[in-house]
A and B are shown apart, each in its own frame.
Chain A
Amino acid sequence: LSPRAAMEEEVLCAVNANTFEDSAVFARDRGLDHNAVVGVLNRLAAFEFVNLAPIQNNSWELTDEAQHYVTVGTPEAQVFNAIPEEGIAMADLQGKVDTGVAKIGFAQGMQQKWFRVDKTQGSRVYRKVESIVDTVREMLLELQRANGAFEALNKANTDLLKRRQLIRAVSLTSFKVSKGPKFAMTLKKEATDLTAEMIASDSWKEETFKGYNFNARGLQPPSGYLHPLLKVKAAFREIFLEMGFEEMPTNNYVESSFWNFDALFQPQAHPARDLHDTFFLSDPAAATQIPEDYMACVKEVHEVGGYGSIGYRCAWKEEEARKNIMRTHTTAVSARMLRKLAQNGFQPAKYFSIDRVFRNETLDATHLAEFHQIEGVACDRGICLRDLLGLMATFFEKMGMPKLRFKPAYNPYTEPSMEIFAWHSGLNKWIEVGNSGMFRPEMLRPMGLPEDVHVLGWGLSLERPTMILYEIKNMRALFGHRVDINMIRENPICRLEY
């Protein structure tokens, strides 16, 4: 018989004999845990085996400290016992009993005039009485015997114990138990699950099933989880694919300054080319292969212009262009793709990529040294700003941002350039969501693209929309080895609805 079943049986016997007056008494008399008894009573009550009538009990409970004194005596008694006939130096007393005990015990004993101190011999303590009665301990014992009943001690003594924090008031609800409408001496065991055996034997017909606990949490299925950043990346890839864009091969983190800057008509004196902003490589420090004829065209357009442009009119150094860097944007790959397009005989194209880019940053809540850039590029003959606005409208509407406005901006390789702002209904304000523009002729024409081919481009970071979507304030909580695995496990699916 399980302890629980044994307890059930005992309870039912007592109820049957009409002797169950108080569950607290019942538990104490049998040395049972009252909570366990109440558990059993509730269960029996749920089956209407018994009726419960609550009884409020207020009583004193001995604190842990008091429990201890009941066993070893109060501090004052301990100190008294530690003082020999011939007295003891105050300092030595500390060694014979615990410091805390000595302190309390000495103070209490002095109050009771159990000791005297002789200062002539350098604070020596003597017994003042021959023997003592440890009254406080007696009180505690008394209270314990009376199960903490309020009436066990008079007010003065109660106050004394309270003051010394030896007792505290507790209130307990116990129950008077009587037979319920369905009282019986045995409680049938309930089934929690329907089993195959029950189905086979038809025994489910006789079973009572324990009600399911709808307040508890269910069992979590074993599973692994995808990273939130890449879930959002997947959602953006789908948008591009739905819109007919082709993914670019962006799997080259190392890029030459040539493709990253020069090909984009970014002047060699541009601040982005500072050591301060960009990771340069010490090994391999320089790119070995740059198409010579194309490089000559790029040099010319920078130095003296062409295609209707006056150029930057300052010296352009090949050495600077060959410097390898960690690419600062995926537009370096777009440049490679556009040049390939020009070389292979122009065909209209729409490209996209979502991949890593690098900036020589000191990390903080909104800056990382690497992050993901989302980029879209569309090129065709006669394609224009209106088309760019149309692509933006579709793209951001699919992201759940149907309301856009554009601010003119500056970008060395696009003209016109625009920052994209979207109305965020949750935040109730316009937020900047990306950059866009039309690539400059100084970038496109040296590649060999025909004059009437225009190229539209736009970009945004993957981290920012992810942080907004999942309400993550610190970028480092999203990307990198310090990310909390539990965040990944609990992170909801990505639906791009702001």
Chain B
Amino acid sequence: QGQMPVIYVVAENLFSLLGKTLNDKELEDICFEFGLEVETTTYKDMPHRDIVEEYKEDELVFKVEVPANRIDLLCVEGLAEAMRCYLQLAEPSIFKVVPLEKKETIIVEESCNQIRPFIVGAVLRGVKFNPKNYNSFISLQDKLHENYCRKRTLVAIGTHDLDTIKGPITYKALPPKEIIFTALHQTKDMDVTELFSVLEKDLKLRNYLGIIRDSPVYPVIYDAEGHVLSLPPIINGERTKLKMTTTNVFIESTATDLSRAKANLQALVCMFAQYCEKPFTVEPVEVVAVDKSVHQYPDLTYKEMKLDIDYAKQLSGVDDLQPADIQKYLLKMGMHSKPAEDGKMVVEIPPTRGDILHQCDIIEDLIIGYGINRIPARLPKTHTIGKQLPINMFSDLIRREFAFAGFDECVTFSLISKEDQSNCFLKPLDTKEVVQIKNPKTAEFQIIRTSMLPSILKCVSANRTAKLPLKIFEVNDVVKKDPESDTGASNQRNVCAAFSNTKSGLENIHGLLDLLMLKLKIPFSSDNGYSLRAAQEDHFMKGLQADILFHGEPIGQMGIIHPEVLKKFEISYPV
């Protein structure tokens, strides 16, 4: 659930950053233990090659599946950093924000609160781009946008050539008609209404237009000279665009979720700070919030988190963990730690690790550093008694009796279309009873069935070439609206059986009912058992249908399905 992000890295590129070459098997095993899935492929099959790099078509490429929470592994730089530590080839890199007298400033105007309230920023100074790292920088932003930023809804990143920008920068929201600029890859100024009609044709960007389209004001970032840097979360301006020749990179990132924007920025700048003039350093950007409070981003402090060694032992079951071991294993996972006076460990959480919320997250890393597959298994001492859910046990007994009686079991979908329902019952949907789906991808799944009859008829229809007589049944849940339930709907266990032959033979279904009642020790009696009473439903034939009563109350129906219904289900034999 929730697709895992996938990245493609050129083997040679990874190994050069790693400072070590591994064969496929070694890499696969290491990645497995670390929690990554690797497949080998070639440059030819690598998607999204925006900039032509000088690789052969059969150049070895790794396709790596990254856990959704590890945004620091979404590019080859981050992957190499993590693996260098894990393989104990190097200590973790230390990222720093350099103190600056004069910082780039972003002033936030109140209008942003209506649409996209937050903005953060950073500067990478003296970056040396080449096709490899430039490509990686662009594709990391794509990966972040798609996954952690939730398709730009929560966070959007814009990167610019700082030398084309004159500060201070203003972040505000304006009506689309009032925003006029030349957007990336466009040749002329346009207002945003016009721009949107152009971008509507852009296969990628058109997916994001909906994030702001219906808002009366759109977020926009201006520099001091009134040039538009970007229209987040859609597109940057052409004027300030990042080029391979850019050396000073200005990064802005707007958001509806500030925590996520910060974590996202931290991961992004740390991955690429190694290419700066002073490697692993980042220049700060100041944001003046609506309330005039001043905030500095990015925050690359190493937050300290206490790790309780006993808790680590309790959770993992590895009883002989010593502080030195913990230090060693955490260092493999990119974290420095040291014993504290209270007997716990103090762990420094790198700014790239926004996924660490609780010490259990550190313990997971500790276990990975130790090696999950090294932990010996044992059975828990927890003594409990096995127990079946009564209704399931009962259902299984009934299912067996039906099969013994010569009926074949079906397992059909709970979700059906409104058409199935109306075709079967020849009347409009009973909205007082039927639970409806809001957003089905296909019309097949519009409602939850309140009866299994439509499904059983679909089954008969799909098996029209099977040998006759066709005798099928299903024991399963239907769902009906129920004000008593906390969700407003509840399940009900039903049985449904059908007999189809060249002639209707209702006595076969009647016989199955009698058998069921016999097995349940329910006598044929209108007072204290079961009985039949003539019924009048449109979907059965007149006079050939009955309500099944239990102690005088209706609990089901049987009858010969009306030919009009059969026709709708394209069934040519009586059922």
- Cα-based distance from A412 to B387 in the complex (angstroms): 30
Which listed segment binds A: B14-22, B63-71, B98-106, B180-188? Answer: B63-71
B477 CB to closest chain A CB (Å) equals 6
CB-based contact B386/A243 at 8 Å: yes
Residue from A251, A312, A386 within 8 A of B477 (CB atoms)? A251
- Interface flag for A472 (CB, 8 Å): no
Q: Taking CB as reference atom, which chain A residue is nearest B381? A: A380
Evaluate contact between A224 and B382: CB separation under 8 angstroms.
no
Quick check: is B3 within 8 A (CB to CB) of the other chain? Answer: yes
Q: Does B316 contact A (CB under 8 A)?
A: yes
The smallest beta-carbon distance between A363 and chain B, in angstroms, is 8
CA distance A229 to B413 in the complex (A): 13
Contacting residues, chain B, for A394 (C-beta < 8 A): 379
Give the residue of A223, A281, A442 whose beta carbon is less than 8 angstroms from that of B358: A442
Q: Are A348 and B442 within 8 A (Cβ)?
A: no
A227 in contact with B409 (CB, 8 Å): yes
Query: Are B396 and A480 within 8 A (Cβ)?
Result: no
Give Cα distance in the complex from A391 to B434, angstroms. Answer: 41
CA separation between A254 and B486, bound complex, in Å?
10
Whether B487 and A254, one on each chain, are in contact in the complex, defined by CB atoms closer than 8 angstroms, is yes
Chain B residue nearest in CB terms to A347: B384
Q: B403, A226: Cβ atoms under 8 Å?
A: yes
Cβ of B377 and Cβ of A289 under 8 Å apart?
no
**Roughly how many angstroms separate A38 CA and B409 CA in the complex, as a whole number?**
47
Binds B, one of A15-23, A25-33, A134-142, A414-422: A414-422
Among A272, A326, A382, A415, point to the contact of B1 (Cβ < 8 A).
A272
A308-B379 contact given A370-B415, A410-B70, A483-B410, CB 8 Å threshold: no
**With the chains together, A255 CA to B442 CA distance in Å?**
21
Whether A128 sits at the interface, judged by CB under 8 Å, is: no
A213 vs B493: C-alpha distance when bound (angstroms): 48
Nearest chain A CB to B130's CB is how many angstroms away? 32
Is B322 at the interface (CB under 8 A from chain A)?
A: no
Most buried by B among A279, A378, A394, A440: A279
Q: Are B258 and A314 in contact (CB under 8 A)?
A: yes
A227 close to B411 (CB less than 8 A) = yes
Instruction: State A319–B466 Cα separation when bound (angstroms).
Output: 50
Task: Indicate if the CB atoms of B375 and A386 lie closer than 8 Å.
Answer: yes
A409 at the interface (CB under 8 A from B): yes
Q: For the A-B complex with A324-B489, A484-B463 known, give 17 more contacts whose Cβ atoms are closer than 8 Å.
A: A224-B403, A224-B406, A224-B471, A227-B411, A234-B396, A241-B387, A247-B388, A254-B448, A275-B439, A280-B438, A362-B442, A370-B415, A385-B375, A408-B367, A416-B364, A416-B372, A481-B461
Say yes or no for A465: interface residue by CB 8 A criterion.
no
Stretch at the interface among A91-99, A145-153, A352-360: A352-360
CB of A308 within 8 A of CB of B359, answer yes
Known A242-B386, A361-B441; contact A253-B477, beta-carbon cutoff 8 A: yes
Q: Choose one: A222, A363, A481; the contact of B412 (CB below 8 Å).
A: A481
Residue of B nearest to A309 (CB): B358
State whether the Cβ of B521 lies closer than 8 Å to any Cβ in chain A. no
Contact A222 B406 (CB under 8 A): yes
- A482 contacts the other chain (Cβ, under 8 Å)? yes
Chain B hits for A254, CB < 8 A: 435, 448, 479, 485, 487-490
Chain A: how many interface residues by the 8 Å CB criterion? 113
Chain B residues lying within 8 Å of A481, measured Cβ to Cβ, are 410, 412-413, 455, 458-459, 461-462
- Bound together, the chains give a CA A99 to CA B150 distance in angstroms of 72
Contact A454 B315 (CB under 8 A): yes
Q: Which stretch, A57-65, A101-109, A183-191, A485-493, touches the partner chain B?
A: A485-493
Contact partners of A225 in chain B: CB under 8 A: 403, 408-409
Instruction: Tell me which of A387, A438, A481 has the highest count of chain B C-beta atoms within 10 A of its own C-beta.
Output: A481
What is the 8 Å Cβ interface bit string for chain A, positions 339-355, against chain B (1 contact, 0 not)? 00000000011100000
Complex contact B32–A407 (CB within 8 A)? yes
Distance in Å: Cβ of B165 to nearest Cβ of chain A: 30
The answer to whether A10 has its CB under 8 Å from any CB of chain B is no
Complex contacts, A326 vs chain B, CB 8 Å? 415, 437, 448
How far, in angstroms, from A237 to B399 measured CA to CA in the complex?
Answer: 15
Q: Return chain A residues, CB-CB under 8 Å to B445.
A: 279, 369
Which single residue of chain A is at the shortest CB-CB distance from B69?
Answer: A410
Specify the chain A residue showing the minimal Cβ separation from B263.
Answer: A313
B257 touches A329 (CB 8 A): no
Find out whether the CB atom of A387 lies under 8 angstroms from the CB atom of B378.
yes
Task: Flag if B368 contacts A358 (CB, 8 Å).
Answer: no
Q: Are B375 and A389 in contact, CB atoms less than 8 angstroms apart? A: yes
Can you sample 12 A-B contacts with CB below 8 Å?
A222-B406, A224-B404, A243-B386, A251-B491, A254-B485, A284-B481, A386-B316, A386-B318, A389-B377, A393-B377, A409-B67, A481-B459
Instruction: Choose one: A272, A405, A441; the contact of B373 (CB below 8 Å).
Output: A405
Residues of A within 8 A of B67 (CB): 408-410
Q: Which of B465-491 contact A (CB under 8 A)?
A: 466, 470-473, 477, 479, 481, 483, 485-491
B391–A251 contact, CB under 8 A?
Answer: yes
Partner of A289 from B415, B472, B486 at Cβ < 8 Å: B486
* Contact assessment for A279 and B439 in the assembled complex, using a CB-CB cutoff below 8 Å: yes
- A-B pair count, CB < 8 Å, reads 315
Q: Using A415-B360, A482-B462 as known contacts, say yes or no to A281 and B435 having CB atoms under 8 A apart.
A: yes
Q: Is the C-beta of B508 less than 8 angstroms from some C-beta in chain A?
A: no
Given A407-B37, A484-B463: A348 touches B383 (CB 8 Å cut-off): yes
Identify the A interface with B (CB < 8 A).
222-227, 229-230, 234, 237, 240-249, 251-256, 269-272, 275, 277, 279-290, 305, 307-314, 324, 326, 328-329, 348-350, 356, 358-363, 368-370, 378-380, 382-387, 389-394, 405-410, 412, 415-418, 438, 440-442, 452, 454, 456, 479-486, 488-489
Query: In the complex, A349→B376 CA distance in Å?
Result: 23
State A283–B458 Cα separation when bound (angstroms): 25
In the assembled complex, the Cα of A317 lies from the Cα of B477 at a distance in Å of 32
What's the nearest-Cβ distance from chain B to residue A66, in Å? 38
B411 touches A442 (CB 8 A): no
Docked Cα-Cα span, A282 to B448, in Å, equals: 12
Is residue B400 contacting chain A, with contact meaning CB distance below 8 A?
A: yes
B529 to chain A, nearest CB (A): 25
- Indicate which residue in B364, B405, B462, B481 contacts A224 across the interface (CB closer than 8 Å): B405
Report whether B455 and A271 are in contact in the complex, using a CB–CB cutoff of 8 Å: no
Tell whether B329 is near chain A: CB-to-CB under 8 Å.
Answer: no
Give Cα A248–Cα B373 distance, bound, in whole angstroms. Answer: 30
In the complex, whether B392 has a CB less than 8 A from a CB of chain A is: yes
A244, A253, A307: the one contacting B383 at CB < 8 Å is A244
How many Å from the CB of B397 to the closest CB on chain A?
Answer: 12
Given A248-B389, A356-B414, decide whether A284 and B435 contact each other with a Cβ distance below 8 A. Answer: yes
| Chain B residues closer than 8 Å to A246, beta-carbon distance | 384-387
Does B343 count as interface, using CB distance less than 8 angstroms? no
Q: Which residue from A227, A241, A251, A271 sits with its C-beta under 8 Å from B410?
A: A227
A252 and B487 within 8 A (CB): yes
List of A residues within 8 angstroms of B34 by Cβ: 408
Closest residue of chain B to A352 (Cβ to Cβ) is: B386
In whole Å, how far is A269's beta carbon from the nearest beta carbon of chain B?
A: 6
Is the Cβ of B385 less than 8 Å from the Cβ of A308? no
Please name all residues of chain B whose beta carbon is closer than 8 Å to the beta carbon of A234 when the two chains form the complex: 396
Q: Which residue of A lies closest to B31 (CB)?
A: A407
Closest to B489 in A: A254
Please name the residue on chain B nearest to A248 by beta carbon: B389
Q: Is B526 an interface residue (CB 8 A)?
A: no
A381 → chain B closest CB, angstroms: 9
Shortest CB distance B166–A (Å): 33
Q: Bound state CA distance, A360 and B477, in angstroms?
A: 19
Q: Which residue of A lies closest to B402 (CB)?
A: A224
- Beta-carbon contact of A230 and B411 below 8 Å: yes
Give Cα A189–Cα B112 distance, bound, in whole angstroms.
103
